[in-house]
Amino acid sequence: MGTAEKPDSDGQRIVCPGCLLAAPESSIRILPYFDDQVNGYVVLYRCEQCWLPYLEKTRARITTTGDWAEVASLIAFFEHHGVFQLEFRRGDPLPVVRALLGRMIDLVGAGAIRLSARSSEPANEAEANASAMKENEKLAEAAYDAMYQSSFPTAKDCFDDARSYFAKAIEIAKRAGLEDEVVRLTARRDHIVSVYNTQFRGVR
């Protein structure tokens, strides 16, 4: 018996690098933070008692920057954690992308977006490929849905987006040797091309 602490029902304890107090592993938060050394966003681990001021600094910095490289660095950070911003990928202007990043940080602060240490390091390359492929497929399907809500010529832009996201997904699947996925994605892409040709390109 003696003075040994009873095993923590919450799992391991981790010393928070911010306040240097031991915190249950489940209370450790992960957030993006600008690092001057690497000139970009890196992952910061903090306990839930002290992480919000750091997150606020990140928010203040990104919502006022005029630097695309800095914006791209934070986008990459989020993408690494499986959170994507369509507006950036579509080439929306900096103020739009920046404001949405501020909103994404708010969601992280509110717990609606929970970044996890595990997802920042895909277990292996196959997993990373599969998730990149799925993400492109998701974007392709979103663009396809948008095609139905647009009138010409915007429908054509949506169609072009859908086709190029499918091309990326297929390329990743090919590189990763995912034969079945190549076949499935190619069939889906061809279907969408034929829908576009018959319903949107005009009556033949």
Q: Where along the sequence are the contacts to Zn ion (CB under 5 A)? A: 16, 18-19, 47, 50
Of 50 and 99, the one with the shorter C-beta distance to Zn ion is 50
Of 50 and 76, the one with the shorter C-beta distance to Zn ion is 50
Of 33 and 88, the one with the shorter C-beta distance to Zn ion is 33
Strand partners, 165: none
Measured CA to CA in angstroms, residue 200 lies from 60, 77, 141, 148 at distances of: 44, 37, 17, 9
The minimum distance between CB 39 and Zn ion, in angstroms, equals 26
User: What is the spatial distance between Cα 92 and Cα 88, in angstroms, rounded to a whole number?
Assistant: 6
The minimum distance between CB 77 and Zn ion, in angstroms, equals 21
The minimum distance between CB 58 and Zn ion, in angstroms, equals 16
User: What is the spatial distance between Cα 161 and Cα 176, in angstroms, rounded to a whole number?
Assistant: 23
The minimum distance between CB 44 and Zn ion, in angstroms, equals 11
User: What is the spatial distance between Cα 172 and Cα 127, in angstroms, rounded to a whole number?
Assistant: 12
Of 57 and 103, the one with the shorter C-beta distance to Zn ion is 57
Residue with tokens 């009138």: 151
Of 19 and 94, the one with the shorter C-beta distance to Zn ion is 19
User: What is the spatial distance between Cα 183 and Cα 190, in angstroms, rounded to a whole number?
Assistant: 11
- Hey, what amino acid is at 92? D
The minimum distance between CB 118 and Zn ion, in angstroms, equals 20
Return the sign of the alpha-carbon dihedral for residues 68, 59, 61, 39. Answer: negative
